[in-house]
Structure 1
Amino acid sequence: MRRVREERPEARVEIFPAPGIPEVQEGDDIGELIATAVPDLRAGDILVVTSKISSKAEGRVRRGVSRNEAITAETQRVVARRGETVIAQTTHGFVMAAAGVDASNTEPGTVVLLPVDPDASAVAIRRSIRERLGVPVGVIISDTFGRPWRNGQTDLAIGVAGVTPALDYRGLSDDHGNALEVTLTAVADEFAAAGDLVKGKLAQTPVAVIRGMAEYTTEEDGPGIRELVRQSEEDMFRYGSRDVVFTRRTIREFSDEPVDGAKVRRAVDAAIAAPAPHHTTPWRFVLLESAEIREKLLDAMREAWIADLRGDGFSEESITRRVKRGDVLRAAPYLAVPCLVMDGSHTYRDDRRNAAEREMFVVATGAGVQNFLVQLAVEGLGSAWVSSTMFCREVVREVLDLPPAWDPMGAVAIGRPAAPPRDRAPRNAADFIVTR
């Protein structure tokens, strides 16, 4: 990433295709093919190279494998799916249609995968051209991407060598004196899109030359494409429609980083969107933002658990082990206590129907808590729902000064995950389905 310090001088840009590049085969030297096609390349020229020819040269063509099988193999995670269309994150970190697998412009019965390391592909092409022509050029490996909120596709950079990937305008001021706080220009993507204008999709011209932008080339190969791949913790739209529910995993280890209460309140917004009987609102969330209150509650609950366990005849060793399970609550920098209220419930003449009425409200509370946990994960927060408060409800109501009708339904430990969740055995939906 390059910091912009002054206005770029007025420039004249020329973009033209590299003619006469033959059909690429495995083992071909792309740099040699380009140097032969455009022997008059100049220092500072920028080459935009379609990723497919790099893939073919590197043996990334698969024969006898269906496109869907190839997509599955190249997918790190599915972001969204609609019909046969799959938006997936690749092992490179790119989020794109079909994980970059392409069945066009290749022999029938074959599919082309992205290069294993597009930055390395760009470096190899750049060095090959310099060896043959003696001129330093910039190289961008490009591929086609769709974009959220926009129809149509455009080419973006997936590999970069010898080109500044991004320009950082932050800290500068515009003509009106306003500070530019978040302006980061993806220069490599702009070059990729510009090159595609002359390459085309059907013209069999996989390489474009951009001339007049030498100021954006660099002597070194540079940092590669990573500057333009947004890290997951910074991605506000990381989770697609398919995997948003699966973001929720029980987290038991938290960092010391404070929790933004606004994020928790947005999770409450999601919680109260859950279904409930009789058009009621059976959820209440007590947010424990005070460390003093959290400690007071957990101490009181601990004493109540110990007294109950001793009364049940458990050994001191067993009591210590069981009480230790509550440590996840002490480790969290933020706690929430979801409560059930029966406002709006119906009263019947027999206990069976009254019990069923309460069960409906308990189920609705569980749905609300599930929404709460999922939204916390979307906000980048880890959580663990612990049933502890259900075993000492009177103590919880007293410490937190809650109305008698509020029924604590566990406690949720919240914080930034300090470690990934533990692996769990895979579950097959078919094992949980009965069809009649």
Structure 2
Amino acid sequence: MTTPPPGVPTPGAPHDDPAVSPPHNAPAATPPHDGSAAPERVEVVAVTGIGEVRPGDDVAALLAGAGLRDGDIVVVTSKIVSKAEGRVRHAPDRTQAIEEETERVVARRGDTVISQTRHGFVMAAAGVDASNTEPGTVLLLPEDADASARRIRAGLGGVRVGVIVSDTFGRPWRNGLTDVAIGVAGLRPLDDYRGTSDTYGNPLNATVTALADEIAGAAELVKGKLAGVPVAIVRGLSHLVTEDDGPGVRPLVRPADDDLFRFGSRDVVFARRTIREFSDRPVDPEAVRRAVAAGIAAPAPHHTTPWRFVLLESPQTRTKLLDAMREAWIADLRGDGFTEQSIAKRVKRGDVLRNAPYLVVPCLVMEGSHTYRDERRNTSEREMFIVATGAGVENFLVQLAVEGLGSAWVSSTMFCRPVVRELLDLPESWDPMGCVAVGHAAAPPRDRAPRDPGDFILTR
């Protein structure tokens, strides 16, 4: 690492974890690894003498004396990009700015908030920073850091370089911060080794290296948090620099469907949504069984286990059950005097079950319940078990969502319990408590209507 004396312009001289890497059949976000040998020497050089950056400043112009060479990679701290682009806000604290920059809160503990920004980044305080800025102001992330990187690169015309806009992120499971790329131009952001073999001939099925993040982290070694050095040059990686601006940082942001850890502690309950349209994608039976394990972790009276889950994995069984239930509903509705038109409309509501690739029938069992001489107490006893069954089904539905599966809990079986017991050959003591349609959502669910918790609270 080389750092010039302070005030003197530089002279002319994330992480790959197979457990969370993109799926093997995902399209490569970058050109495949070219098989070239690792460079023998990489230099990281601090660029000093830039001074305080003000709104309207041209970041590229500030680098005019940096002595850039073809193949260099310029790493620019996002703070000076934000200042130059006027992403400075006057605020007594960060609270309001964090709320406005947050797409969703992933986790919260005390004053610490982990947020997903509209850029797709998951980071502390939605990237809102109160350091290295005048008192009473906060810095927001660049509106579009890829576009910022492209503008800086274009402003450095005459030299072939890559540009990274970096910011500091924390990391799950590890203490300490590191810089990562939030904007990229003229650089291959990922190195994809999938489909190749290691030196022992073992196939690599999940190895994707976050090149841009590694370079951003290396650059931070000479910039530092307190040194007042916002730019570094990484030299020796010219094979990663591209002729065009490239895909930007987007390939580094894991799609929600591929993110095994998408839901933070605050998200888990709200992840459950009623899904009524499912794709043809098959359901992993093991995922359903993991959801059952969550279901039976619910509280129950008298240390009992009042839950049973009937998994309808056979298409023939699902069809027979739904046909039999349909006939029972129609007979009941006709007996109640409904018109044929009204019956057809009501029966159609069961299509969510017929269109689902997987069905689950939760059942209540009263094993371990107490019997009293007072019928009122017996009624209360059953109600306790019904509440416990509902808690178990809710756990089940939430875990399905965590597994990436949509669901719809329909009360249909409760209107024809004898038919369900007979067709599924269930014990008489098993009480079917509806039917859960399970599958992969065909489209994102509609946003929930806003609800104020205060409307549901009574304080005494």
Query: What amino acid is aligned across from residue 251 of structure 1 in structure 2?
Result: I
2:80 alignment partner, one of 41, 53, 59: 53
Q: Does 1:341 align with 2:365?
A: yes
Match in the other structure for 1:237: 261
**Equivalent-residue separation in structure 2 for 1:314 and 1:10 (angstroms):** 79
Alignment of 1:330 with 2:354, yes or no, is: yes
Letter in 2 for 1:427: R
**C-alpha RMSD of the superposition:** 1.0
SS in 1 for 2:63: helix
Q: Which residue of 1 aligns with 2:290?
A: 266
Indicate if the aligned counterparts of 2:39 and 2:236 stay in contact, CA closer than 8 A: no
Structure 2 equivalent of residue 154 of structure 1: 178
- Higher helix proportion (structure 1 or 2): 1
- Is this contact kept in 1: 2:78–2:165, CA < 8 A? yes
- Per-residue CA deviations over 1:16-35 (Å, capped at 9, x if unaligned) read 11010021111111000011
**Residue deviations 1:146-166, cap 9 Å, x none?**
000000000000000111101
| SS of alignment partner, residue 318 of structure 1 | helix
Q: Distance in 2 between matches of 1:314 and 1:342?
A: 35
* More displaced 10-residue stretch of structure 1: 308-317 or 84-93: 308-317
Equivalent residue runs for 1:297-336 within 5 Å: 297-336=321-360
Question: Is 1:421–2:445 an aligned residue pair?
Answer: yes
Deviations 1:223-244 (A, max 9, x none): 1001110000000000000111
Query: Partners of 1:182 and 1:10 in 2: how far apart?
Result: 23
How many equivalent residue pairs? Answer: 431
Q: Give the Cα separation in 1 of the matches to 2:46 and 2:200.
A: 40
For 1:200, the aligned partner's letter is: G
How far residue 425 of structure 1 moved from its aligned partner, in angstroms, is 2.1
Given the alignment of the two structures, is residue 127 of structure 1 paired with residue 151 of structure 2, yes or no?
no
Following the alignment from structure 1 to structure 2, what is the Cα–Cα distance between the partners of residues 221 and 364?
57
Secondary structure at the counterpart of residue 155 of structure 1: strand
Is the contact between residue 90 and residue 136 of structure 2 (CA under 8 Å) also seen in structure 1?
Answer: yes
3-state secondary structure, aligned to 1:48: strand
In structure 1, what is the equivalent of residue 241 of structure 2? 217
The 1-side partners of 2:68 and 2:178 are apart by: 26
Shift of 1:129: 1.1
Listed one character per residue, the Cα deviations across residues 90-138 of structure 1 (whole Å, up to 9, x for unaligned) are 00000000000000000111110000110110111111011xxx21111
User: CA separation in 2, counterparts of 1:80 and 1:203?
Assistant: 31
Following superposition, the deviation at residue 65 of structure 1 comes to 5.8
Q: Distance in 1 between matches of 2:451 and 2:187?
A: 46
Q: Is 1:88 paired with 2:115?
A: yes
Q: Which residue type is aligned with residue 218 of structure 2?
A: A
Counterparts in 2 of 1:10 and 1:143: CA distance versus 1, 3 Å: closer
Alignment of 1:250 onto 2:279: no
Distance 2:38 2:52 in 1: 39
Deviation at 1:7, TM superposition (A): 4.0
Aligned-residue offset at 1:424? 3.4
Alignment-derived partner of residue 12 in structure 1: 41
Distance, in Å, in 2 between the alignment partners of 1:301 and 1:65 is 62
Report the AA paired with residue 344 of structure 2.
T
Query: In the alignment, residue 224 of structure 2 is paired with which amino acid?
Result: G
Q: CA deviation at 1:305?
A: 0.7
1:44 aligns with 2:65: no
Runs of 4+ more than 6 Å apart: none
Question: Is the 8 Å Cα contact of residues 223 and 232 (structure 2) preserved in structure 1?
Answer: yes
Q: Which residue of 2 aligns with 1:276?
A: 300
| 8 A Cα contact 2:105 2:115, kept in partner | yes
> What corresponds to 1:98 in structure 2?
125
Match for residue 393 of structure 2? 369
Picking from 37, 40, 50, the partner of 1:21 is 50
What is the TM-score with the length of structure 1 in the denominator?
Answer: 0.97
Indicate the SS of the match to 1:396. helix
Over the matched positions of the two proteins, sequence identity in percent amounts to 71
SS of corresponding position for 2:156 = helix
SS of corresponding position for 1:156 = strand
* CA distances 1:172-197 after superposition (whole Å, capped 9, x unpaired): 11111111111111010000000000
Q: 2:454 aligns with which of 390, 410, 430?
A: 430
1:350 positional shift: 1.2
Gaps of 5+ in 1: none
**CA drift at 1:312:** 1.1
Find the aligned partners of 2:418 and 2:161 in 1 and give their Cα distance: 74
Give the alignment partner of residue 229 of structure 2, picking from 205, 212, 220.
Answer: 205
